[in-house]
C-alpha cells in the first residue's frame, strides 16, 4: 500500500491553517504543502499597510517561525505550481511533471490581482497582491514628490492611497463608484470615507479609466498619465491598478467534476468533490445560514475555512480509511457545515474599520455617525427584511465585539436596530 498523503495546494494563510489543523486533528500521514511563491507562508494584509509604509521589514510578515513550520513535518514544495487535479483518482500534477496520488486534497490557491491589458509592458504600473508587488511599489514610492494614481477605490486602493498620502506623495484615487468602498460599505459610510480621504489631500475622481499615456519605447516605456473616459488626464509617474481579483482556478479547468465559476464551488462542508475541499479566497461555498453561495476575500475567513476544510476532510477520510494508522484516534470527528460570522478590518490613516457578517448584496443599509469629527460611526446592512452585517469605525473593542452577536445569524431588521441602539447606549 502506498503511504497515505494529503496535499494542500496554496501555501498562504488558508493553506497553512489547513495544514496545521490536519496535524492538530491527528493526521500522521504525508502532508504535502504546495506553493508557487518562493517564500514560506507570509501575511498579506500588512502589504498595503505596514510594509508599504516602511514600518515593517518583510521578515515580520512570516506567518510562522521556522521551528513552528518544522514541527509540522511537512513535505513542503515551495516555488512549485500545481497544474492539474484529477478528482476521480485524486491525483495532483505539479509543474515539475510529478504526479502525486493523494487521499485528500485541499485547494487554497487564493486569488490573483486583476490588471488592465493596456498596462502590459508599461514601467510604473503596479498591482498589489504579493510580497514582490508590495516591495516594487514601495521602492517606487521611495523618496518624495511622486504622483500616484490609484485605479479602483475598493478596500485595497483606499489603503494604498492612505499610505501614499502619509508618505507625502500626491495621490489621485479613481473609481467607477462615486464613493470609496461604497460597493462594500454603502453610501453613508462611503461618504464618510470620502470626506476623510479628501481632508487628507487625496483627489477623488469618479470615472472609468480609458488608458495610459507614456513616453519612451520598448521596455523603457514609462507611464506619464492616466486618461479617463470623461476626458480627464491625471498626470502620474506611478499607477496602482487595484480593480479586484480573479480566483486562481485556472489549473483546475481540466476536471469536469469541478465548478470553477467565480471560485471553486463547494457544498456547505467546503467539499468540491469527494476527498477534495477548498478554503480561503478561492472557495465559494454554500453558507447554510445565509442560504446562498458566498466567497469571502477576508483574512479571517482564510484561517477559519482552512481549519474547517481540514476537519471535514479528515472526518470524510475517517470513514473510508477506518483503522488506518495515518488517522490518529483524534480524527474521529464528524463533518460540520461551515457557518462562520465573516469578519474583516481595514486601516486607513488612523481609522480602524471593522465589520461582521455579510455586507455585500445588501438591499438596505443604515449608518449612524456617532462623532463626525473623529469619524466614529456604525452601520447596519440587510437583505430581505433581515439584518446580515454590521460595521464599526472607531468604536472601543468591547463594543465592536458586542456587535458580532447582533448579526451572528440574520435577524429581523427592527430587532437588530434596537440591539444596535442598546449597544451604543
* Smallest gap from residue 300 Cβ to other proteins (A): 5
Contact of residue 111 among ligand FAD, other proteins, none (CB under 5-8 Å per partner type): ligand FAD
- Binding characters for other proteins, 68-87, by CB under 8 A (x = yes): x-------------------
CB atoms within 10 A of CB 344: 19
Q: Which is nearer to other proteins, 220 or 425 (CB)?
A: 425
CA distance 154 to 184: 8
Closest listed residue to residue 216, CA positions, set 122, 127, 133, 289? 122
CB atoms within 10 A of CB 325: 9
Contact of residue 35 among ligand FAD, other proteins, none (CB under 5-8 Å per partner type): ligand FAD
Provide the edge-to-edge strand list for the sheet that holds 209-215.
Answer: 209-215, 222-228, 233-235
Do the Cβ atoms of 375 and 394 come closer than 8 Å? yes
What letter would DSSP give residue 417? H
Binding to other proteins (CB under 8 A): which residues in 5-44? 13, 17, 20-21, 24, 43
CA distance 200 to 203: 9
Binding to other proteins (CB under 8 A): which residues in 334-373? 343, 345, 347, 352, 354
> Is 300 a binder of other proteins (CB under 8 A)?
yes
Closest listed residue to residue 113, CA positions, set 160, 145, 146? 160
Nearest 5°: the CA angle 114, 278, 291 is 90
Which residues are CB-neighbours of 3 under 8 A, at least 6 positions away?
29, 30, 326
C-alpha distance from residue 425 to each of 152, 188, 377, 418, 420 (Å): 37, 21, 13, 11, 9
Which residues are CB-neighbours of 368 under 8 A, at least 6 positions away?
377, 378, 379, 420, 424
* Smallest gap from residue 2 Cβ to other proteins (A): 30
C-alpha distance from residue 5 to each of 22, 247, 420 (Å): 11, 26, 48
Contact of residue 147 among other proteins, ligand FAD, none (CB under 5-8 Å per partner type): none
Do the Cβ atoms of 114 and 209 come closer than 8 Å? no
Q: Which of 199, 397, 418, 421 binds other proteins (CB under 8 A)?
A: 397
CA distance 379 to 377: 7
CB atoms within 10 A of CB 48: 28
* Smallest gap from residue 345 Cβ to other proteins (A): 6
**Which residues of this chain interact with ligand FAD, rule CB under 6 A?**
9-15, 34-37, 44-45, 47-48, 81-82, 108-111, 128-129, 156, 248, 251, 280-281, 297-300, 302, 344-346
> Is 396 a binder of other proteins (CB under 8 A)?
yes
> Is 99 a binder of other proteins (CB under 8 A)?
no
* Smallest gap from residue 390 Cβ to ligand FAD (A): 15
* Smallest gap from residue 30 Cβ to ligand FAD (A): 17
Q: Which of 80, 184, 303, 365 binds other proteins (CB under 8 A)?
A: 303
* Smallest gap from residue 62 Cβ to other proteins (A): 8
Do the Cβ atoms of 410 and 387 come closer than 8 Å? yes
* Smallest gap from residue 45 Cβ to other proteins (A): 7
Binding to other proteins (CB under 8 A): which residues in 402-421? 404
Contact of residue 154 among other proteins, ligand FAD, none (CB under 5-8 Å per partner type): none
Choices 215-223, 251-259, 261-269, 301-309 (CB under 8 A): range interacting with other proteins: 301-309
Q: Which is nearer to other proteins, 228 or 354 (CB)?
A: 354
* Interface size with other proteins, residues (CB under 8 A): 31
Q: Which is nearer to ligand FAD, 280 or 419 (CB)?
A: 280
Question: CB-based burial of residue 300 (10 Å sphere; 0-12 exposed, 13-18 middle, 19+ buried)?
Answer: middle
* Smallest gap from residue 68 Cβ to other proteins (A): 7
Q: Which residues bind other proteins (CB under 8 A)?
A: 13, 17, 20-21, 24, 43, 45-46, 60, 62-65, 68, 299-300, 302-304, 307, 343, 345, 347, 352, 354, 396-398, 400-401, 404
Amino acid at each position: 500500500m502506498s503511504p497515505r498523503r494529503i496535499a494542500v495546494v496554496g501555501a498562504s494563510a488558508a493553506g497553512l491553517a489547513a495544514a496545521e489543523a490536519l496535524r492538530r486533528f491527528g493526521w500522521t500521514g504525508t502532508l504535502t504543502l504546495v506553493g508557487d511563491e518562493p517564500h514560506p507562508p507570509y501575511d498579506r494584509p500588512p502589504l498595503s499597510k505596514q510594509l508599504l509604509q516602511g514600518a515593517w521589514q518583510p521578515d515580520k510578515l512570516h506567518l510562522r517561525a521556522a521551528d513552528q513550520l518544522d514541527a509540522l513535518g511537512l513535505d513542503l514544495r515551495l516555488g512549485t505550481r500545481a497544474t492539474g487535479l484529477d478528482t476521480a483518482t485524486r491525483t495532483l500534477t505539479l509543474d515539475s511533471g510529478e504526479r502525486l496520488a493523494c487521499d485528500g486534497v485541499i485547494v487554497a490557491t487564493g486569488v490573483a490581482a486583476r490588471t488592465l491589458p493596456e498596462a502590459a509592458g508599461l514601467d510604473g504600473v503596479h498591482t498589489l497582491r504579493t510580497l514582490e508587488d508590495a516591495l516594487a511599489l514601495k521602492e517606487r514610492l521611495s523618496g518624495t514628490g511622486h504622483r500616484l494614481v490609484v485605479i479602483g477605490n475598493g478596500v485595497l486602493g483606499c489603503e494604498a492611497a492612505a499610505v501614499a498620502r502619509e508618505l507625502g506623495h500626491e495621490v489621485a484615487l479613481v473609481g467607477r463608484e462615486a464613493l470609496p468602498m461604497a460597493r462594500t460599505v454603502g453610501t453613508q459610510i462611503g461618504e464618510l470615507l470620502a470626506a476623510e480621504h479628501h481632508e487628507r489631500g487625496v483627489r477623488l475622481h469618479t470615472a472609468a479609466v480609458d488608458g495610459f499615456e507614456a513616453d519612451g519605447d520598448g521596455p523603457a516605456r514609462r507611464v506619464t498619465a492616466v486618461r479617463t473616459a470623461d476626458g480627464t488626464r491625471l498626470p502620474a509617474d506611478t499607477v496602482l491598478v487595484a480593480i479586484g481579483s480573479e480566483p486562481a482556478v485556472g489549473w483546475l479547468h481540466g476536471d469536469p467534476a469541478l465548478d470553477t465559476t467565480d471560485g471553486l464551488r463547494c457544498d456547505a462542508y467546503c467539499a468540491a468533490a469527494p476527498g477534495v475541499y477548498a478554503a480561503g479566497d478561492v472557495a465559494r461555498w454554500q453558507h447554510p445560514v445565509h442560504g446562498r453561495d458566498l466567497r469571502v476575500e477576508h483574512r479571517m475567513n482564510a484561517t477559519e475555512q482552512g481549519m474547517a476544510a481540514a476537519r471535514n476532510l479528515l472526518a470524510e477520510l475517517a470513514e473510508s480509511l477506518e483503522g488506518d494508522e495515518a488517522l490518529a484516534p483524534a480524527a474521529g470527528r464528524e463533518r460540520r457545515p461551515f457557518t462562520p460570522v465573516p469578519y474583516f478590518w481595514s486601516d486607513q490613516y488612523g481609522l480602524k474599520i471593522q465589520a461582521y457578517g455579510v455586507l455585500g448584496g445588501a438591499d438596505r443599509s443604515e449608518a449612524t455617525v456617532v462623532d463626525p469629527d473623529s469619524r466614529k460611526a456604525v452601520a447596519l446592512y440587510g437583505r430581505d427584511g433581515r439584518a446580515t452585517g454590521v460595521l464599526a469605525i472607531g468604536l472601543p473593542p468591547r463594543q465592536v465585539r458586542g456587535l458580532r452577536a447582533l448579526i451572528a445569524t440574520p435577524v429581523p431588521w427592527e430587532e437588530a436596530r434596537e440591539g444596535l441602539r442598546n449597544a451604543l447606549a
